[in-house]
Amino acid sequence: MEKIRSLRAAIEAAIPDLARNPDRLVIFVNQGQIASASITSPSFEYRYEGEILLTDYSDHVDKAVVATLLWARLNEPDIFTNYHQGKPGLSFEAEIIDEKKIDLVIRLPLTERVIVRELESGEVTIEHIGEPPPPDPFGPAPGNLQVVFGQYDENPVEDLTNDPVA
């Protein structure tokens, strides 16, 4: 499971104290499932809950949350699109140890696609596939934007083409 390793590295990079004290950052994989939708291909998907445990954590909680969100934006973007569909995103719990320290748990749903290929030689290759790039929130590149910004001439239909502006 490559995503868990990547998540740990991202948190350690964002919170150097955890890199210096690796025993205070514990990562768990919970409720794991292996999903395969084909009897003709051995490819599959890991589905699990990643659990981040920060012990004796004295930085601001926001720092850990933002590090996790920044990682998820690139590595598990479905967390953000699923939120709008009513599916759970990140969750957390904290145990207050004293005025300066907490034990913090952050949980997030993770998936990881694994492509398995059986070669003619009998060899099997296994490849973990990253997430596709997120779609552009503004859609495809527009054509002639002069119409939008008020440069109408006598032939407005021509302005709506995708021809570049001369």
Query: Same domain for 93 and 34?
Result: yes
Q: Which residues are within 8 A (CB) of 1 and not within 5 positions of it... i.e. 6 or more apart?
A: 29, 46, 48, 112
Query: Same domain for 95 and 148?
Result: no
Query: Same domain for 123 and 164?
Result: no
- Residue 114 and residue 144: Cα distance in Å, rounded? 42
Output the six-digit token pair for 83: 């939120």
Share of the chain above pLDDT 70, in %: 76
The per-residue pLDDT for range 19-63, each reduced to its tens digit, is: 999 999 999 999 999 999 788 889 999 999 999 999 999 999 999
Query: Same domain for 102 and 24?
Result: yes
What is residue 114's predicted lDDT score, i.e. its pLDDT?
A: 93
Query: Same domain for 113 and 146?
Result: no
The per-residue pLDDT for range 136-157, each reduced to its tens digit, is: 666 665 554 444 444 444 554 4
Query: Same domain for 123 and 140?
Result: no
Beta strands 91-96 and 25-35, pairing class: unpaired
- Domain count along the chain: 2
User: Given 3-state DSSP classes, what are the helix, strand and coil percentages for the chain, each rounded to the nearest 5?
Assistant: 30, 35, 40
| Length of the chain as a residue count | 166
Query: Same domain for 122 and 56?
Result: yes
Output the six-digit token pair for 107: 């949980």
For range 86-107, the mean pLDDT: 91
For range 96-122, the mean pLDDT: 93
10 Å CB burial of residue 18 (0-12, 13-18, 19+) is: buried
Query: Same domain for 112 and 49?
Result: yes
**Average pLDDT in the chain:** 83
- Residue 101 and residue 78: Cα distance in Å, rounded? 32
- Residue 79 and residue 69: Cα distance in Å, rounded? 9
- Structural domain containing residue 48: 2-129
User: Greater confidence, 158 or 81?
Assistant: 81
Query: Same domain for 155 and 95?
Result: no
For range 99-125, the mean pLDDT: 93
Contact 11, 66 (CB under 8 A): no
pLDDT exceeds 90 at position 165: no
Query: Same domain for 14 and 66?
Result: yes
pTM for this predicted structure:
0.73
Query: Same domain for 9 and 35?
Result: yes
